[in-house]
Amino acid sequence: MTKIAVIDYGMGNLHSVSKALDEVSDKEKILVTSDPELIKSSDKIVLPGVGAIKGCLQAFSGELRNEVVEQIKNKPTLAICVGMQMLLENSEENGGVKCLNVLDGKVVKIPASEDIKIPHMGWNKVKFLSDHFLWNNIPDCSFFYFVHSYCCLSSSDAISETNHGNSFISSLGKENIFSVQFHPEKSQDLGLQLYKNFLDWRI
Amino acid sequence: MTVAKRVIPCLDVNKGRVVKGVNFLNIKDAGDPVEISRRYDEQGADEITMLDITASNETREITYKTLESIAGQVFIPLTVGGGIRNIEDIKRLLRSGADKVSINTAAIENPDFIKEASDKFGSQCIVVAVDAKSKDNTCSSWEVVTYGGRQRTGIDVIEWVSKVKEFGAGEILLTSMDRDGTKEGFDNKLTKAVSSSVPLPVIASGGAGNLQHLVDGIKEGGAEAVLAASIFHYFEYTIQEAKQTLRESGLEIRI
């Protein structure tokens, strides 16, 4: 049985991520876990995250972090929101923090402009920059649910972009890693479709 | 292109049932919250807000159960408010499936609570609910009120929202207590005064009686989202109709 490890490092609404995966899983087992052994024996990794990045990085530490970093080198991995941001080089949030440097790009405060509100909160269009298996059955420029104040403005690993005053990178990845700034678990049918695609993804 | 304006149906929940009354009077039963949430989700609601209007210790357990049940079936953002007093309350609600919590009285009594909560859980999940009432008849200044509008606080609404922003709130749920339950439309002057004074998203609430009111709340009030209860509960309009009307008025809407 395929095992999906949803990494529990004590931050964020894991309930909704695991519920959404449960909703679309057929024979996969969804494990919400912080146990390095279980993570090691899982087939795929989901790395969620909400809140402030410093708190997330502090909580995501020690043996747990080492094991996850090791496993995401080759296992299909989906990172969400701050989970995605943690995979980049660094973030300006909380006075500046170093991140895991797995994907190309930096996290910066969403540039202020007169006609936008921050946090960027609500449904916005995701414009594909490249094809990906995880976009199966999802039309280009579909709405997904966002809630964040920091973003990545450019990356050589960009997969989609979204506009909120300025364009920013709404998903990025390479090889076995796919990561999104938005919340598929809160994006109704198309969000569930993305999780379904992740479960079906073979590398 | 930017973020779409949102339509948020609100469920006032009392002991596990959706109810509707004007200023907490003449409360009528409007159905089962889980069933209603599913209906709104199918109709394309952008989020759902659930307010526990009694929020006593005994009814709190029912709220957690209701929330878990909604969160297991509806995959859109859920905001929960009513009687949130401390970090433990928030933790429990988030664990039960809430994405955001709406804090009202506790924020006024202790503004540091907003800071504590947003530091711990992130600004994105801390909504501060502001109940506002006109100070005089000029309709140009408003005061924060509590207990369904019965208690005045003497706090100016504009000063208060700037302060809650500084303390880390991520969104303002702004209810006009002059309009709540009247169906005369949102107090757009109030909404405009607030939305133009803080960079946070503002949800307009209190007074929606028809679909044009929703358009006005966004266009005249500058709201990022509109919240309504009774126009949706009693099948006067569907969420779909509301969003269609908003889109036809030229607004960016997810349909």
Taking contacts as CB-CB distances below 8 angstroms, the residues of chain B near A149 are: 123-124
What region does B74 belong to: left with phi over 0, alpha with psi -120 to 50, or beta? beta
Distances (CA, A) of B250 to A91, B215, B238: 37, 10, 19
B201: preceding bond cis by omega (within 30 degrees) = no
In this structure, are residues B9 and B49 in contact, taking their beta carbons and an 8 Å threshold? yes
What does the pLDDT read at residue B137? 73
Q: What is the DSSP string of chain A?
A: --EEEEE-SS-S-HHHHHHHHHHH-SSPEEEEE--HHHHHT-SEEEE---S-HHHHHHHS-HHHHHHHHHHTTTS-EEEETHHHHHTSSEE-GGG-EE---SSS-EEEEPPP-TT--SSEEEEEEEEESS--GGGTT--TTEEEEEEESEEE---TTEEEEEEESEEEEEEEEETTEEEESS-GGGSHHHHHHHHHHHHH---
Q: What is the pLDDT of residues B180-217, one digit of tens each?
A: 989 999 999 999 999 999 999 999 999 999 999 999 99
In this structure, are residues B97 and A19 in contact, taking their beta carbons and an 8 Å threshold? yes
Catalogue all structural domains in chain A, each as residue range(s) with its CATH number.
Answer: 3-200 (3.40.50.880)
Interchain CB contact of A26 with B (< 8 Å): no
Q: Above 90 in pLDDT, residue B20?
A: no
Q: Above 70 in pLDDT, residue A12?
A: no
Instruction: Reduce the DSSP state of residue B137 to 3 states and report it.
Output: coil
Interchain CB contact of B101 with A (< 8 Å): no
Window 5-24 of A, Cβ < 8 Å to B? 13, 15-16, 19-20, 23
Nearest Cα residue to B33 out of B233, B242, B235, B203 = B233
Taking contacts as CB-CB distances below 8 angstroms, the residues of chain A near B76 are: 145, 186-188
Measured CA to CA, the distance from residue B153 to residue B150 in angstroms comes to 10
Q: Which residue from B minimizes the CA distance to A166?
A: B2
Measured CA to CA, the distance from residue B170 to residue A121 in angstroms comes to 9
What does the pLDDT read at residue A13? 67
What does the pLDDT read at residue B25? 62
Catalytic, out of A28, A56, A67, A81? A81
Measured CA to CA, the distance from residue B246 to residue B193 in angstroms comes to 22
Instruction: Provide mean pLDDT across the span A21-42.
Output: 96
A20, A147, A192 ranked by CB distance to B124: nearest:
A147
Is B77–A19 a contact, with Cβ atoms under 8 angstroms apart? no
What does the pLDDT read at residue A196? 98
Q: Which residues of B are catalytic?
A: 12, 131
What does the pLDDT read at residue B23? 55
Of residues B126 and B57, more confidently modeled: B126
Instruction: Reduce the DSSP state of residue B99 to 3 states and report it.
Output: coil
A185 is catalytic: yes
Is A19–B72 a contact, with Cβ atoms under 8 angstroms apart? yes
Question: What is chain B's mean pLDDT, rounded?
Answer: 92
Q: What is the pLDDT of residues B26-79, one digit of tens each?
A: 677 889 999 999 999 999 999 999 999 887 767 788 999 999 999 999 999 999
Best of B68, B124, B191 to mutate (most A CBs within 10 Å, chain A): B124
- The C-alpha of A26 sits at a distance from chain B's nearest C-alpha, in angstroms, of 16
Interchain CB contact of B6 with A (< 8 Å): yes
Distances (CA, A) of B5 to A34, B114, B167: 37, 25, 25
What does the pLDDT read at residue B121? 87
Question: What is chain A's mean pLDDT, rounded?
Answer: 95
Q: What is the pLDDT of residues A133-149, one digit of tens each?
A: 999 999 999 999 999 99
Is B2–A119 a contact, with Cβ atoms under 8 angstroms apart? no
Is B75–A116 a contact, with Cβ atoms under 8 angstroms apart? no
Instruction: Reduce the DSSP state of residue B209 to 3 states and report it.
Output: coil
In this structure, are residues B155 and B144 in contact, taking their beta carbons and an 8 Å threshold? yes
Taking contacts as CB-CB distances below 8 angstroms, the residues of chain A near B240 are: none
Nearest Cα residue to A146 out of A115, A175, A111, A110 = A110
- The C-alpha of A119 sits at a distance from chain B's nearest C-alpha, in angstroms, of 6
Nearest Cα residue to B44 out of B73, B9, B79, B72 = B9
Is A119–B124 a contact, with Cβ atoms under 8 angstroms apart? yes
What does the pLDDT read at residue A190? 98
Cα dihedral value B234, B239, B242, B246, nearest 10: 160
pTM confidence score: 0.95
Window 139-198 of A, Cβ < 8 Å to B? 143, 145-149, 163-165, 183, 185-189, 191-192
Measured CA to CA, the distance from residue A144 to residue A166 in angstroms comes to 17
> What ipTM goes with this model?
0.93
Instruction: Provide mean pLDDT across the span A13-35.
Output: 92
In this structure, are residues B167 and B118 in contact, taking their beta carbons and an 8 Å threshold? yes
Best of A16, A149, A193 to mutate (most B CBs within 10 Å, chain B): A16
Instruction: Reduce the DSSP state of residue B40 to 3 states and report it.
Output: helix
Nearest Cα residue to B225 out of B2, B1, B9, B69 = B9
Instruction: Provide mean pLDDT across the span A82-90.
Output: 97
Is B3–A116 a contact, with Cβ atoms under 8 angstroms apart? yes
Q: Which residue from B minimizes the CA distance to A114?
A: B199
Query: At a CB cut-off of 8 Å and minimum separation 6, what does B179 contact?
Result: B185, B186, B187, B206, B207
Q: Which residue from B minimizes the CA distance to A12?
A: B121
- The C-alpha of A190 sits at a distance from chain B's nearest C-alpha, in angstroms, of 10
Interchain CB contact of B3 with A (< 8 Å): yes
Band of residue B1 on the pLDDT scale cut at 50, 70, 90: low
Best of A54, A56, A109, A123 to mutate (most B CBs within 10 Å, chain B): A123
Q: Above 90 in pLDDT, residue A44?
A: yes
Measured CA to CA, the distance from residue B50 to residue B71 in angstroms comes to 12
Interchain CB contact of A50 with B (< 8 Å): yes
- Structural element, H or E, at residue B105: helix B105-109
Q: Above 80 in pLDDT, residue B24?
A: no
Measured CA to CA, the distance from residue B112 to residue B96 in angstroms comes to 24
Surface-to-core class of residue A163, CB atoms within 10 Å of its CB (0-12 exposed, 13-18 middle, 19+ buried) = middle
